[in-house]
Amino acid sequence: MTLSLTRVAETALLACGDEPLCAYIYDLDALAKHAAALAASLPDNCELFYAVKANSDLPILQTLAPHVRGFEVASGGELDWIRRHFPDAPVIFGGPGKLDSELAAALESGVELLHVESLLELRRLAWLARSMNKQADVLLRINLALDGVPATTLTMGGRATPFGIDAGRLPECLTWLARHPEIRLHGFHFHLMSHQLDAGAHLALLRQYFRQTRQWQEQFGLTINRLNVGGGIGINYREPGRQFDWNAFSNGLAVLVESENMQDWRIRFEPGRYLTAACGYYAMQVLDIKQCFGRYFAVGRGGTHHFRTPYAQGHSHPFFIVPREHWPYPFPRPGVEQAEITVVGQLCTPKDVLAVNAPVERLRVGDLLVFSYAGAYAWHISHHDFLRHPHPRHIYLDPQEPVHAANQ
Ligand SMILES: *Cc1c(COP(=O)(O)O)cnc(C)c1O
């Protein structure tokens, strides 16, 4: 086990009490190192923002803040949250269906750039900006046909979706913008796919963004120098040993920026999942193990109402087992050895499944199952109050403190 996993395992054991354990554990030290390494590996004209929706817990944001240039928010609620806790951090605001009140709040609070999703949104923004006597700085979010770039399992573009402006409508938007100086166009925003696991394919996608942007700049005579290439770098939940090759990507990016002559552009990345997924763990203590129609099931404390990621993505989520020796009952402890086990939670629905037919050497009731890659789109996308079970504990391992201090 790595140092980080050992620390997480020790923390989970220490956190066990009278009631079976159910907890999120976040390794903030690992998060800080990961974010610092990503930021340092980018070419000078590229910068890293964090897409807050992946995990907006305050300790996560506080850990990231020194390493990212700013935060990408996708709602008035996120904007409020970031402004309250990081009044000076650069903020960019995207997402479909923004309210007038949200656009006004963005203008009021000095959001650096708004990512506009439609011509109507442009019109409403201009109308608000005029009434507030302000200028609005924007990127246009564009959906364009993908030219030979292989699609991932989650696409927001390259086909009909509600996200961004169809590239075919761009001339209409630009004609309108030319008559509305209260809006300043700085460039374009693309976020066409998530779950990207292939560094080469991601570079090919970026090359298309670069070329398309330059072509529009020339065709329409635009004075622009900013490009947001979105997030979308994936986590390989199915084969955790084979992750996105960030080194190959960042090296390739430096070459691409030069070969495509993009050195004078400010290029922005706004990943969510790839920044925070790996720092989070969801730990559940095994309440029961049973055999049914020839299959083994482990029922854990908690479930998809806390950790919806496996169900949302349709995968069997990777986990490791932390043995716990304590057994309070006067009867034998159920367990399995060299078996395949399906892990479910406490909900009364067959959809409450976290892992399917996962091979285990030994698992006993009372042991801990610790799911890795649970730091992004995990707690924050789950339906917490279904069945009114208590919420899990949230434990943040602070780099400065020994493990026992986290167990409060
Ligand atoms: C969700 C989202 C992101 C982050 O996506 P990840 O797949 O988590 O990297 C970035 N930009 C936009 C516009 C998004 O909607």
Query: CATH number, domain at 365?
Result: 2.40.37.10
CATH number of the structural domain spanning residue 168: 3.20.20.10
- Judge contact between 305 and 384, C-beta under 8 A: yes
Task: Assess whether 348 carries a catalytic annotation.
Answer: yes
Above 80 in pLDDT, residue 402?
no
Judge contact between 137 and 113, C-beta under 8 A.
yes
User: For residue range 58-81, what is the model confidence (pLDDT) as tens digits?
Assistant: 999 999 999 999 999 999 999 999
Q: What does the pLDDT average to over 147-174?
A: 87
pLDDT of the residue at 148? 75
CA of 157 to the centre of ligand 1 (A): 12
Name the pLDDT band for 145 (thresholds 50, 70, 90): confident
178-195 per-position pLDDT tens digit: 999 999 999 999 999 989
pLDDT tens per residue across span 109-135: 999 999 999 999 999 999 999 999 999
CA of 269 to the centre of ligand 1 (A): 10
Q: Which residues contact 77 (CB under 8 A, 6 or more apart)?
A: none
Mutation pick for ligand 1 pocket among 116, 191, 233, 235 (CB with most ligand atoms within 8 Å): 191
- Which atom from ligand 1 is nearest to the alpha carbon of 271? 9
Residue that terminates a domain, selected from 222, 255, 271: 271
Residues 300 and 159 in one domain: no
> Final residue of a domain: which of 242, 271, 300?
271
pLDDT at 30: 96
Res 228 pLDDT > 50: yes
Residue with tokens 């399906």: 342
Average confidence (pLDDT) over 225-237: 97
State which residues form the domain around 13.
Answer: 3-26+278-397
- Contacts with 258 (C-beta within 8 Å, 6 or more apart), sequence order: none
Q: What pLDDT shows up at residue 405?
A: 40
Q: Which of the listed residues 225, 251, 271 is the one where a domain comes to its end?
A: 271
pLDDT: which is higher, 408 or 61: 61
Is 164 close to ligand 1, i.e. is its CB under 6 Å away?
A: no
The bridge status of strand 335-344 relative to strand 91-93 is unpaired
Average pLDDT, the chain: 95
Contacts of 86 (CB under 8 A, 6+ apart): 61, 65, 71
- Total domains, the chain: 2
Whether ligand 1 lies within 6 angstroms of the CB of 194 is answered as: yes
344 C-beta closer than 6 A to ligand 1: no
- Residues 107, 235: one domain? yes
Question: In testing the pocket of ligand 1, which one of 165, 194, 195 has its CB within 8 Å of the most ligand atoms?
Answer: 194
In a shared domain, residues 261 and 122: yes
Q: Where are the beta strands (DSSP E) in 244-312?
A: 266-269, 280-292, 295-300
Residue 398 pLDDT more than 90? no
Average pLDDT over residues 280-301: 98
